[in-house]
Amino acid sequence: MSKLLIIGSGASGVHFALSVLRKGYEVIMVDVGQPRPPAVNPEDTFNELKINLDDPVRYFLGPRYEAFVQPGTEGEYYGFPPNKGYVFSQPPLYQAQADGFAPLSSFAQGGLAEAWTGGVYPLNEEELKDFPFSYRDIEPFYSEVAARIGVTGVADDLARFYPLHKNLLAPLRLDQHSQRLLTAYEKQRGHLNDKLNCYLGRARVATLSADKGGRKACTYTGRCLWGCPTGAFYTPSLTLNECRAFPNFTYVPDVYVSHFKYDARNRLTSVVAESPAGGGVHEIAADVFVLAAGTLSSSRIFLDSVLEGSGERIALPGLMDNRQILVPFINLGMIGEAYSPDNYQYHQLALGIESGESGGYIHGLITTLKTALVHPIVQNVPLDLRTALTVFRNVRAGLGVVNVNLSDSRRANNFVTLRTNQDSARSSLFIKYAPPDGERAVIKQAIKTVKKILWRLGCVVPPGMTHVRPMGASVHYAGTIPMSAKQAPYTASAYCQSHDFDNLYFADGTTFPSLPAKNITFTLMANAVRVAEHAF
Amino acid sequence: MSKRVQIIRSRQPAAASESAAGLRALDDECVAFARYLVRQTPSAYVQGKYREAHAAGGLCQRRAGDHFDHFLLHAAARHPRAARLVDAYTAVFCKRATVRKKWVLLLAIMESCGPSYLYFDAPEPYGKRVLAIRMLWQGAAFVLTLGLAVLLLLPAQLGCGAWAQLSRRSE
């Protein structure tokens, strides 16, 4: 049997690996692989940590106070947990520059989805229209991934947007605020459906509502944002651990892949890699190679390989990302109520808006704010701090945010390429991105519609607090080497096999020909399994 | 001495090397700001973390040569009424003022540990209607305070700016 070498341990890489390991293939996974720190006091709830830890400020704000959000930091309401800093820690070997884009990359064990919010949304027929396969083709793989990771969801009004695949678990316990929003929706359904084309329901989330395998169901400690201490909330490092139990699996961390070597027949022969901490360059040979390092890193390795092999500095067009808009709101009915942190913390509700003319389907995730840090929010309230804090305490139980996601499409003027560095022999990745024409009008319309929806649900949007996030912030990157029926350079087959190197496969978002508004992580995993099942 | 305080003390060699007077001033500032913001006297642990954050450098460094920034900080630490005026003024006109950074830092510390986090969690003990009226009143009070702050602090800001310009020219 062939020896497979997979680059990257993110959501796509680990599910690809698990599928081929079960078939008996020998698999080597190479990865920079920053490890996740161990969970502290796993039994404690969010507030118990503040009492029981010897140094809680160090835990919540970090040893260098890196989670402290200084006044004047524009628009972000979220202090990133210091214990998740490893997810975005960059090895010095990786260098990127960007124009019109704020790129984020992960070199962590488990990749970017170690810091995801667990949203699991299958694409429907309409959203797959640019893909070389239909919903019926990918449905078994959505069901397979759901069985592997545990996905909660129900058949409600959102089923018109989210197809129902197999292996859904019962939904999680709703927090009081989400329950109230859902009740308000049921009362206002007629108006919201008919006048605003808006549908609301339970989110699909990758968190266990019942014990599964060796994993325990969610215990509602309220620590989701700070890293689930029990493994009820799915992250790819759990599947990586599952892979490690196979005797035919070798995990090689502390490896930064520079490029592939290939022969005269354009067959890859090895990867050239080095330790991110410095040290010698070495080669690892294999029969088949799988790029699963995430769209930016996979593109960089591909570009470097072409440059090393042919001397040609090419550009890969079509980079996509979801534009995200944060719309904070206050539920007036919840003013003065006590807030409870002992709940699931990420979005429990979602909304879909059918927007005929402008931009198609709009995807919204409704998070009722609970255990996020307070100080980044309070300082953004347009009042003096003392008054802002008092108002915050009174409305805290009714605070929430809708994260609005817009779709994107491949455009030639958005590309990645390599640029020579002035101060180093190594090339750096250069990313150029410009939003589509007319995006401002689409954003304006989307915000207006979401505000109307929230008003119907008994909520108000505080003036001046809506935030359009920069491109790159959603970290749903895709599209630089798209699947294509035509055998053109820098494209891939319907099964994500490179049209340039026939023993190279892509398992990540690099090959997506379009980017629907829904979070793509679930489709990345399902597509990786689809490719692994078909090609091997 | 509690375990928490011991941990903080053992982690601040930089702070320990500063003058005792400087540390005392920082402690006094922490107490004044905590009383102003959350109506509480900070625990020894909170004071230790406040010191530690300042020793970490860069977080709340005063802007060298910015007399108005120094004036705001000094005034806010002196009296809660002055703090209220400075708070309203910096919320609109000087969001990056050192005093505002220190206030937000203190909030970040106090929300992260017990028992001070409880203040952030609980709403005021009134019914919905009373709370709504109180919040409207607080909003109106903010507008009035801001008006007064502009009357008092804007001339001071302009004066400090002019003084700084004159000093630069004479150098």
Cα–Cα distance between A507 and A288 in angstroms, integer? 13
CA distance A57 to chain B (A): 5
Give the model's confidence band at B13: pLDDT under 50 very low, under 70 low, under 90 confident, else very high: very low
* Exposed/middle/buried for residue A536 (C-beta within 10 Å: 0-12, 13-18, 19+): middle
A490: left (phi over 0), alpha (psi -120 to 50) or beta: left
| DSSP SS3 for A237 | helix
Cβ distance of B142 and A396 shorter than 8 Å: no
Cα–Cα distance between A328 and A393 in angstroms, integer? 16
Complex prediction ipTM: 0.89
Cα–Cα distance between B46 and B66 in angstroms, integer? 28
pLDDT digits (tens, 9 = 90+) for A309-361: 999 999 999 999 999 999 999 999 999 998 889 999 999 999 999 986 655 89
Contacts of B56 in chain A (CB under 8 A): 64-65
Residue B15 scores a pLDDT above 50: no
Residue type, A100: G
pLDDT > 90 fraction of chain A, expressed in percent and rounded: 87
Residue B7 scores a pLDDT above 60: no
Q: Does B171 touch chain A (CB under 8 A)?
A: no
Q: Does A56 touch chain B (CB under 8 A)?
A: yes
* Exposed/middle/buried for residue A234 (C-beta within 10 Å: 0-12, 13-18, 19+): buried
Better pLDDT: A287 or A426 = A287
CA distances from A471 to A317, A357, A358, B123 (A): 16, 22, 19, 37
CA-closest candidate to residue A533, choices A136, A141, A146, A33: A141
Better pLDDT: B171 or A88 = A88
CB pairs under 8 A between A and B: 139
Contacts of A338 in chain B (CB under 8 A): 121-123
Cα–Cα distance between A72 and A230 in angstroms, integer? 36
| Beta-strand pair A324-331/A315-317 | unpaired
For the entire predicted model, the pTM comes to: 0.92
Instruction: List beta partners, residue A257.
Output: A273
CA distances from A117 to A37, A40, A47, A519, B128 (A): 19, 20, 21, 10, 33
Better pLDDT: A146 or B168 = A146
Residue type, A396: R
Q: What's the token pair of residue A463?
A: 């003036």
CA distance A56 to chain B (A): 6
Cα–Cα distance between A388 and A461 in angstroms, integer? 16
Please name the member of A60, A374, A387 whose beta carbon is closest to the beta carbon of B120. Answer: A374
CA distance A81 to chain B (A): 12
